[in-house]
Amino acid sequence: MKLPILLLSVVMVACSNDPAPSANSEQAASAAVAALQGSGSASGKDLYAACSACHGANGEGNKALNAPSLTNQQSWYLERQLLGFRSGVRGSHPDDAFGAQMQGIAKTLPDDAAVKSVVAYIDGFKAKPAAATLTGNAKRGADYYSNLCGACHGPNAEGNDKLQAPALAGVDDWYLLQQFDHFSKGIRGSDESDRYGYQMFMMGKTLPDAEVAKDVVVYIQSLAD
To the question of whether residue 1 is assigned a binding role by annotation, the answer is no
- For residues 174 and 214, the answer to whether their CB atoms sit within 8 Å is no
Q: Which among 224, 221, 217 has a CA at the least distance from the CA of 144?
A: 217
Residue 55 labeled ligand binder: yes
202 annotated as ligand-binding: no
End-to-end CA distance of the chain: 26
Residue 102 counted as an annotated binding residue: yes
Question: Is residue 170 a contact partner of residue 156, using CB atoms and an 8 Å limit?
Answer: no
Helices (H), 38-153: 44-55, 75-87, 97-106, 112-122, 138-148, 150-153
DSSP assignment, residue 67?
A: B
Task: Answer for the pair 71, 60: CB distance below 8 angstroms, yes or no.
Answer: yes
Residues 6+ apart with CB under 8 A from 136: 211, 214, 215, 217, 218
The residue among 132, 101, 92 whose CA lies nearest residue 22 is: 101
To the question of whether residue 15 is assigned a binding role by annotation, the answer is no
Q: Are 12 and 178 in contact (CB under 8 A)?
A: yes
- What is the identity of the amino acid at 114? A
What length does the chain have? 225
Binding-site residue set: 51, 54-55, 102, 149, 152-153, 200
**Residue numbers belonging to the annotated binding site for heme c:** 51, 54-55, 102, 149, 152-153, 200
